[in-house]
Each structure stands twice: as structure tokens, then as C-alpha cells.
Amino acid sequence: MSVYRPSAFPVRYLRVLGKSLCILGTASLVACGGGSGGNDGPLPPDSTLVPPASTVLTLTGDTNAEVDNAVGIVATLSEQGYTRFQWEQLAGPVVTPLAGNGTAGISFDTAFSGEYRFQLTASNEDGDQVQGTFDMSVAPNSDHTRVQLRADRAVSEGADFSLRLNLSEYSGSVNSWRFVQESGPQADLVEDDSGEPVIFVTAPRVNSDQVMRFRGEVETSFGTYSDVAYVVVQDRPEVTSEFFCDGDGEYCAKTSPLNPVYSYRSDSPYRDALAQCVYSNQLTEESLCSLRTLPIIGLTSNAPTVDQIMDHVAVSHDWMGERFERFIRELDPYDDFALMLRSVTAIVISSDVRPSFYWSLTGAIYLDPDSLWLTPSERDLINEQPDYRSGFGSDLQYVTPWRYVKNNNYAFPFYPSYLRETRSFFDLEVDLGSLLYHELAHANDAMSQAKIQGGLALDDIFFNQAYKSDFVNPSVTAVNGMTSQELYDLADVRYRGAQATLLQQSYTPIDVANFFFPDSANAFYSYSSPWEDTAMLFEETMMSLRYGIERDVAVTNSPFNPTSADDYVVAQGQRGRIGSTLIRPRASTAVQGLLPEAWAAADDHLRGITPVALCAGEGWGQNLSPACAGSFGVLRFEVEAPNASGRMPTDRPRSFIPPTRF
């Protein structure tokens, strides 16, 4: 039987233009407006009474539920332009946090029975507001089995998102599961091919906000259990930007309508400019913002405070801004990130950013929130669909895994999605830290401190001022430049989706290792562009300097049906490659140009790094603790060790996106 039988009852409200609030129930319909409220006398002849324009707000969700259900409420509006949503709990057992706060959809788990009431206030840039309440009754749960389809949310039309079905405390065995869309405009549904109960969804295009209802069912040997999720598809402005192309350009940004983002600080002096300047599908050459409208942070201060930085943050959900602010306050002891943020116009954190990237057109960094979540409910809102580049190069015979390690173990704790674990705030230190070192390397490459100190024209756009003089990366390329044309060509396959030639398909792992290890790159991604070469050198150096973390890189086979990390057998690999004689001066040059305040310490640190060979012929997991003789890593076992369970290789680099024009 179904653990929980939800019902949906829409509740409607109206808003009048202006900053006052007007609430209407479904049982009555009246015109709300300003004025004295008195009778100003009869109307002139032939005149018509026209009520003020209004916006209809409809709240839909779970009006009835049981304890341990996953529930949600979503809002639709009859007009576009509402980008700020503030939810408040008015009654019932306290629910914190409300996952999705800041958007038109929230979700949470019902830990206690009782009568709940929530209030939503939606605002637009003009200060107009609409407000409404939603009631929910939660009864005790007579069945200990729990099934939840996560999570209710708001998405833009055309957006990609995922829904995960969780089942716990059940008896018997799981026979099957399925997903079905029960109502709303038809979306495209694709089941995850990994064998996990996850559905990937592409929202349809709509002419007005629409609610979709999905059901997930699990059939066990003791019965069938189900749950529903509500997803509101928001009507978004048409994509008209010349910088957001159809997917066939080399450096396309997103074609689909972007998530609505808003200034994390409601009192930011750039509140009304942030989204329009850096995260709008209507961005054109004529509407690009000047540095006077949205300056880089370094024009505000050479030593920016956290408050000054947060004035430049735009988010799709409140918790993303809260987490980023806490990270900058508590986990930046050397002020590396605060200093490097001088070069950016904005920090955009949104659930539809995947992968993270820097865009030299806007001067902003765009962060995937997968590096910021702490609670399972926060993680539920992050799209699980793979990086679009994950299938590139699938017909090649090799892969190039990498990882960060410390004390012969993974530096990043691993949290499987299905376990729904909470991670420590301090686990973000190296995860978000590595991401920021990479993306801010791009930002400081384009807008170095030398450029800022040389003076910038405030009435010009960021792009023109960034491109008026040299970047940092040419000075890095000039030092022991990379020479393998084979790897440059393979980078087009791996990272841009080019079709592999027959020759490239014939390359063995040994062939590729022979291209890479004698050359002067610290990472395979370095061959994708001089920008990535510089960023990878900087990122690995700073991770070693600040955290004592080393980077492994290897060439392995490409197993057909891998079940563990040790199915990936190392042909050749290296730990701490950044310290090799060919690469060390290149890394030092990168730090000197990107973060001169850290250069002396980094240069000294690089001289103390000695690369270590991984063990050829052993699995990727076994090589967490390499102990090989000789520079090419002789196998240390006389007989092959059995496969060990472990994490699969990581090959999901970040991005630099130059503009599609100019």
C-alpha cells in the first residue's frame, strides 16, 4: 500500500501594483487598490472603471501528509518578473531549514504530526509584492516504512533536473521501481542507467507557470510504496541573447532559460544589476554592463571585506549564499580567496550551474552548488545529471583519472547520495577551496592585479578592459611550453566532443602515457587551452601549499563494465607532478602572475616537492598507497591483487568560457 496519500489543493492570492499587500481567497474576488477608500463621487460620462492590474499567485502542495513524509509547496504566478521569494513558517512544529527558501518551491520532511501553516511573499524588482498562506495537516504514521520522492522545487522552463526516490526501514526485498508524471505539461523523463532510483527530467516550455506532479513507486516483496513531488515550471523570458547559442558554437553558454537568481544581500548596492548583468538570457552587446554599473570587487577595495564581497553574490537559493559567506569568513585564513575575488564582477551560485565556470565576457564566476551543500535536503535540490562532457571520448581505449590525496587517502570525503548523510562544514574546505582556486585563477588571468593597479575605465565594459592588455597565461606558456600535438588533438575529443579519428581510437594507454609524462603539463586538461593550463598549475600548487594535499594523475585502461576503482589499471601515473623540474618553474610563474601575495611562499614550497611514481599494472584504488621501485613504477606484487571496492576515477574538470563574439 502507499505510505502516504497526498492531495493537492491550490490556494490563490492576488497582488496589486505598488508595495502594499492584497490577499484574496478563492471564495471571493474583489479589486484591491490604494487611495483614501472614500467615495469620490460619480464617474464622468462615458468613463469606464478599470481595476488595477493584478498578479495571481497560486500555492499548490501537500495539504495532508503523515510523519516521515517528504512534502512540499510550490507557487505559480500569472506574471513574470518575480525573482525574490521569502517563505515563513507561521504555525506547527518548527521546520528548519526550508529547502528551497528563496525560490518558488520548498520541501521538507515531516518529523512531527500537527497543523502547519506557511506564508510566501514574492517580490519583483519594482518592489511589488504578493503574499499568501498554505495549510498542511500532518498525521501520525502507522507504517514504519518510509519512501520519499525528492524534492519539490521550482525550475525554469527547459531546465534539466533530477528526482531521487528513497526507501528506508522496509521489510523484504525491492523488486522494482518506477516513475510516472501524473499531471501538468509533459516533461521528458529519462531513467538513470546506473541502476539507482533516479529520474532525469527536462522541463517543457510553457506560456505561463505550470505545476507538474510526479509519482515514484517502489515494489517490494511486502507491498508497493509511493510518494509524489510537485515541481513548478516557471515561464521565463525568451532567450534572445547573442551570447547564448544553440549548442553548436565552441563556447556556448546555456540555451535554456536560466534559473531566476537574486542578490543574496537585499541591501546590496548592485541588487538590481547583478542578475541582469551576468545571468540573463537577454544579454546583448548593447546591454553589457559597464564597470560603473557593476564594478569588479577590486575597484571597491584592494583588501575587500566579506561584506563587500557578498554584495556581489547572486544565488538561486538562500542557503547557497549563507554557505559561501561562512566559507569566506571562516575558511580563508590566508585571505587567498578574498584577494583573488578582487578580479570578479559577481559570484553566481545556482542549482542549474553544472559544471562550474568562469566567463570572461561578464567577469563573473559561476559555481556548481555541489561543493557547498551540507544537509541532504540541500543536496536534493542539486541536479544529479552528469556533466554534459562525461561521455566525450567514450570510444577511446584509455581514461585519465585524477584525484587529490593526503596521507595516502582521498582528500575529499565521499558521501553517496542514497545514504542521505550530513557532511561537516569543514569538509567544504578542500572541496570548495579547490574549485575557487581554479575559477579565480581564470578571473585573475583575465583581470590581473597589475591591470587593476594600472587603472580601468569605469564607463567601459569588463570585456574591453580585460582584453586591452596581455593576460597572465602567455607568460606561463612561454616557460617550458607543452609540445605534444597528439594530446592537444585528444583534448578536442575529451573536452569539446570532437569525433575521435581511427588513429586516436587505436592509441593504447601506454601510447598516451608516452605522450604525457615526458611533456610539461601537470594535467591532461591543460591541453584544452592556455587558460586551463595556467589554472591547473595554480590550483595544484595552492592545494599543496595551503592544505598539504597532493594530486595524482594517471593513464589507465577503459574497462567495459567497471565494478570498482581497481578495474582501472594504471599504465603510468604520478603523484606531486607539480614538483618536477620541467613543471615547477611554470607553476611558480602562474602563482606570481595570479596571486603575487602568495608567490614567495609558493615558489619555496614547490622546490620541496618530489614527484612519486604510481605503480604500473596495479589498480587505481591500490595506488592510493604507492610503493614502487624505479621511475616508471614497477609492480610491487608478484601476483595480481584482487579488485578492491573503491571510488571510480575523477575526470570532471571545470571550465573557462570566453565570449562567443568579440
Position 15 pLDDT exceeds 50: no
Q: What is the pLDDT of residues 227-282, one digit of tens each?
A: 999 999 999 888 787 776 554 445 555 567 788 889 999 899 999 899 999 998 88
23 shares its domain with 132: yes
221 shares its domain with 301: no
Residue 568 and residue 288: Cα distance in Å, rounded? 47
Q: Is residue 18 part of a domain?
A: yes
Position 42 pLDDT exceeds 60: no
216 shares its domain with 304: no
Q: How confident is the model at residue 23 (pLDDT cuts 50, 70, 90)?
A: very low
Q: What is the pLDDT of residues 147-166, one digit of tens each?
A: 889 999 999 998 889 999 98
Q: Is residue 646 part of a domain?
A: yes
Please compute the mean of the pLDDT values over residues 441-460 and round it to a whole number: 96
Q: Among positive and negative, which fits the CA dihedral 264, 266, 268, 273? A: positive
354 shares its domain with 405: no
Burial of 643 (0-12, 13-18, 19+ CB in 10 A): middle
Where does 331-472 have alpha helices with state H?
336-340, 376-380, 428-446, 449-454, 462-466
Q: What is the pLDDT of residues 471-510, one digit of tens each?
A: 999 999 999 999 999 999 999 998 888 899 999 999 999 9
Q: How confident is the model at residue 466 (pLDDT cuts 50, 70, 90)?
A: very high
207 shares its domain with 287: no
Give residue 44's pLDDT. 32
Residue 620 CA, distance from chain mean position: 27
Instruction: Name the pairing type of β-strands 402-406 and 357-359.
Output: unpaired
**Which of the 8 DSSP states describes residue 425?**
G
Give residue 252's pLDDT. 54
Q: Is residue 601 part of a domain?
A: yes
**630-633 own/partner pairs: CB under 8 Å, 24+ apart:** 632/572, 633/570, 633/572, 633/573
Q: How confident is the model at residue 662 (pLDDT cuts 50, 70, 90)?
A: low
Give residue 388's pLDDT. 65
Position 34 pLDDT exceeds 70: no
Give residue 18's pLDDT. 32
308 shares its domain with 355: yes
Position 289 pLDDT exceeds 70: yes
Where is average pLDDT lowest: 27-31, 163-167, 442-446, 558-562? 27-31
Q: Is residue 283 part of a domain?
A: yes
The arrangement of strands across the sheet holding 198-202 comes to 146-150, 160-168, 198-202, 188-191
Give residue 207's pLDDT. 94
**425-429 own/partner pairs: CB under 8 Å, 24+ apart:** 425/326, 425/330, 425/374, 426/331, 428/323, 428/327, 428/331, 428/371, 428/372, 428/374, 429/331, 429/547
Residue 440 and residue 442: Cα distance in Å, rounded? 5
Cis link prior to 197 (omega < 30° from 0)?
no
Q: How confident is the model at residue 37 (pLDDT cuts 50, 70, 90)?
A: very low
Please compute the mean of the pLDDT values over residues 617-623 and round it to a whole number: 92
Percent helix, strand and coil across the chain, each to the nearest 5: 25, 25, 50
Position 636 pLDDT exceeds 50: no
Residue 76 and residue 232: Cα distance in Å, rounded? 7
Give residue 224's pLDDT. 86
300: Cβ contacts below 8 Å, ≥ 6 apart = 308
Q: Which of 211-225, 234-248, 319-333 has the highest mean pLDDT?
A: 319-333
The count of domains in the chain is 3
129 shares its domain with 203: yes
Q: Are 545 and 602 in contact (CB under 8 A)?
A: yes
Q: Is residue 290 part of a domain?
A: yes
Name beta bridge partners: 619: 569
Please compute the mean of the pLDDT values over residues 8-28 and round it to a whole number: 33
Q: How confident is the model at residue 146 (pLDDT cuts 50, 70, 90)?
A: confident
174 shares its domain with 305: no
- Please state, as a whole number, how many other Cβ atoms lie within 10 Å of the Cβ of residue 117: 13
Residue 171 and residue 554: Cα distance in Å, rounded? 44
Q: Is residue 324 part of a domain?
A: yes
Give residue 648's pLDDT. 59
3-state secondary structure of 148: strand
pLDDT above 70 covers a percentage of the chain that reads 84
81 shares its domain with 167: yes
Residue 567 and residue 558: Cα distance in Å, rounded? 9
Position 641 pLDDT exceeds 50: no
Q: Which amino acid is it at 391? A: G
Give residue 100's pLDDT. 80
443 shares its domain with 560: yes
371 shares its domain with 403: no
**Closest Cα to residue 522, out of 354, 652, 400?**
400
Q: Are 112 and 124 in contact (CB under 8 A)?
A: no
Where is average pLDDT lowest: 19-28, 50-59, 607-616? 19-28
Q: What is the pLDDT of residues 529-575, one digit of tens each?
A: 999 999 999 999 999 999 999 999 999 999 988 888 899 999 999 99
Residue 449 and residue 302: Cα distance in Å, rounded? 9
Who wins on pLDDT, 527 or 42?
527
Q: How confident is the model at residue 1 (pLDDT cuts 50, 70, 90)?
A: very low
Position 19 pLDDT exceeds 90: no
3-state secondary structure of 530: helix
Give residue 631's pLDDT. 42
Q: How confident is the model at residue 654 (pLDDT cuts 50, 70, 90)?
A: low
**Closest Cα to residue 350, out of 306, 319, 394?**
319
Give me the CATH number covering residue 157: 2.60.40.10
Q: Is residue 242 part of a domain?
A: no
**Per-residue 3-state assignment (H helix, E strand, C coil) for 176-212:** EEEEEEEECCCCEEEECCCCCCEEEEECCCCCCCEEE
Who wins on pLDDT, 341 or 219?
341
Say how many CA atoms lie within 13 Å of 291 toward its Cβ. Answer: 23
| Domain final residue, candidates 319, 354, 380 | 380
Q: Are 439 and 466 in contact (CB under 8 A)?
A: no
Where is average pLDDT lowest: 160-174, 407-421, 504-518? 160-174
**Per-residue 3-state assignment (H helix, E strand, C coil) for 211-230:** EEEEEEEEEECCEEEEEEEE
Position 343 pLDDT exceeds 70: yes
Q: Among positive and negative, which fits the CA dihedral 574, 580, 584, 590? A: negative
Give residue 251's pLDDT. 53
Q: Is residue 440 part of a domain?
A: yes
What value does the mean pLDDT of the chain take? Answer: 85
217 shares its domain with 314: no
607, three cell numbers:
622546490
Q: How confident is the model at residue 646 (pLDDT cuts 50, 70, 90)?
A: low
Please compute the mean of the pLDDT values over residues 64-72 and round it to a whole number: 91
Q: Are 297 and 304 in contact (CB under 8 A)?
A: yes
Q: For residue 612, what are the domain limits?
A: 398-414+432-456+467-657
